[in-house]
Amino acid sequence: MPVLTYREAIRHALAEELERDSSVVVLGEEVGQFNGAYKVTEGLLAKFGPKRIVDTPISEAGFIGLGVGASMLGIRPVMELMFWSFYSVAFDQILNNAANVRYMSGGLINCPIVIRGPANGGTNVGATHSHTPENVLANHPGVKVVVPSTAADAKGLLKSAIRDNDPVFFLENTLLYGEKGEVPEGEHVVPLGLADVKRAGTDLTIVTYGRSVLHSLAAAEILQRDHGASVEVVDLRTIRPLDLDTVLASVAKTHRVLIVEEQKPFASVGSQLAYMIQREAFDELDAPIHRLATVDAPAIYSPPVEVEQLPNPSRVLKAALEALA
């Protein structure tokens, strides 16, 4: 199986979908001539030309809104936000317009837009550029939210996202762009809303997504080696729709849950998960549901300290041992 970086996997998905469907357009800041702020769209302008690969001004509210409007008329725009942190300047377009237009029109209008870009901390860019808004986004019925952790998932999920008739928000991670992984050749589509058991285990379920999957797998390895604990790692991959069944099946096996998320704790994705798990698997639980989140403060700049603010293998390990106690 070919090994691709996460970045290349996304690029391949874009290229294949651009090839497949002439209504697909890539728009965003510096996606064309500059080849992408994080080189995700590198080479696409040369291949598909300026009609399909469109450089936008620094104007998130304007161009995201434009994409939403175009999608109402059947275009399938794939909008790049240089950072998902900039969602706040386009909030009205993303979460009033894209999320609501179908409902407010009584189902008459669809909005098949994809908005994608990185949403993560850990790169010492400070509080304004380190937001992880998946909980905020997923709080809005009408939208879909995807957070892939591996190259294969990134490709397969992005292809599904582009083909989806509802607005899909696709949250990548600058620290994953260079991560390599095997990606199946040919048509590789991963359905939205399907979790993936990235590691099987019997003593503890770690429910996680995004880059935290990697930290959780690293911690699981240590737990197995040093503590003899067998940890199952469930990668949600999609936040909404949510594959709760896979989570519940794992809980029924391990009876202990640790949620790991790169989210501020208050009303996070994990908060919702914890609610649902206790609601639907109360009698399977042998311990309270534990959760490891980002330390509750704006993203700190200081490079070595930011590592400790976010989930990392040693923080996951500690939290897992508490959950196993």
Partner 1 sequence: MAQIIDMPKLSDTMTVGTLVKWLKQEGEPVKSGDMLAEVETDKATMELECFFDGTLLRQFAPAGSQVAIGSPLCAIGNPGEKVETPAAVPVPAPKPAAPLPVAAPTPPPAPRPVAPTPVAPALVPVSAPAPAAVSSARVRISPLARRLAAEKGVDYSRVTGSGPGGRIVRADIAAAAAKPAAPAAPAAAPAKSASPKGGADAWPWRSVFDPAPIQPESTAALSNMRTTIARRLVESKTTIPHFYLEIEVDAAPLGALRAQLNAGLGQDGVRLSVNDFILKASAAALRAVPGVNASWDAAGIKFHGAVHVSFAVAIEDGLITPVIRETDQKSVVQISTEAKDLGKRAKEKKLTPAEYTGGTFCVSNLGMMGIARFSAIINPPNAAILAVGATVRKPVVQDDQIVIGERMSLTLSCDHRVVDGALGARFLNALKDHLEHPALLLV
Partner 2 sequence: MTKKTNASADKKADASVTPTSTSASAPINQRLGKEERIELYRTMLRIRRFEERSLRAYQAKKIGGFLHLYIGQEAVAVGCCSLMGPNDHVITAYRDHGHAIAVGMGLNELMAELFGKATGCSKGKGGSMHYFAPDRNYWGGHGIVGGQIPLGTGLAYAVKYKGLKGAAMAFMGDGAVNQGAVHEAYNLASLWQLPVIFVIENNGYSMGTSQQRSSAGDLAKRAEGYNMSWGTCNGHDVYDVRAVMDRFLRQAREESKPAIIEIRTYRYRGHSVADPDNTYRAKAEIEEYRRTKDPIQVFQHQLLSEGVLTEADAAQIDQAARTEADAAADFAEASPFPTPDDIQKDVYWEADHPAERKSQGRLFFN
Measured at the alpha carbon of residue 99, what is the angle toward residues 148 and 94, in degrees to the nearest 5? 75
129 has catalytic annotation: yes
Q: How many amino acids of this chain bind partner 1 (CB under 8 A)?
A: 34
**Smallest distance, partner 1 to C-beta of residue 123, A:** 16
Residue 277 touching partner 1 (CB under 8 A): no
Residue 214 touching partner 1 (CB under 8 A): yes
42 has catalytic annotation: no
Torsion of CA 262, 307, 155, 11, to 10 degrees: 130
- For the beta carbon of residue 52, count every other beta carbon within 10 angstroms: 18
Residue 247 makes CB contacts below 8 A (sequence gap 6+) with 195, 205, 207, 234, 236, 273, 276, 277
Please identify which of the residues 8, 16, 29, 129 carries the catalytic annotation. 129
Question: Closer CB to partner 2, residue 77 or residue 311?
Answer: 77
Torsion of CA 43, 48, 52, 55, to 10 degrees: 30
Residue 175 touching partner 1 (CB under 8 A): no
Interface with partner 2 (CB under 8 A): 25, 51, 56-57, 59, 61-75, 92-93, 96-97, 101-110, 141-142, 144, 160, 163-166, 191-195, 238, 240-245, 272, 276
* Look-up of token digits 């070595």: 304
Question: Closer CB to partner 1, residue 20 or residue 318?
Answer: 318
240 binds, among partner 2, partner 1, none (CB under 5 to 8 A by kind): partner 2
Q: Are 101 and 111 in contact (CB under 8 A)?
A: yes
Segment near partner 1 (CB under 8 A); pick from 94-102, 107-115, 140-148, 215-223: 215-223
Half-sphere CA count of 152, side-chain side, radius 13 A: 14
Residue 228 touching partner 1 (CB under 8 A): yes
Q: Please name the amino acid found at residue 191.
A: P
Name the site residues for partner 1 (rule: CB under 8 A). Answer: 199-203, 214-215, 217-222, 224, 226-230, 255, 282-287, 307, 312-314, 317-318, 324-325
Kindly list the catalytic residues: 60, 129
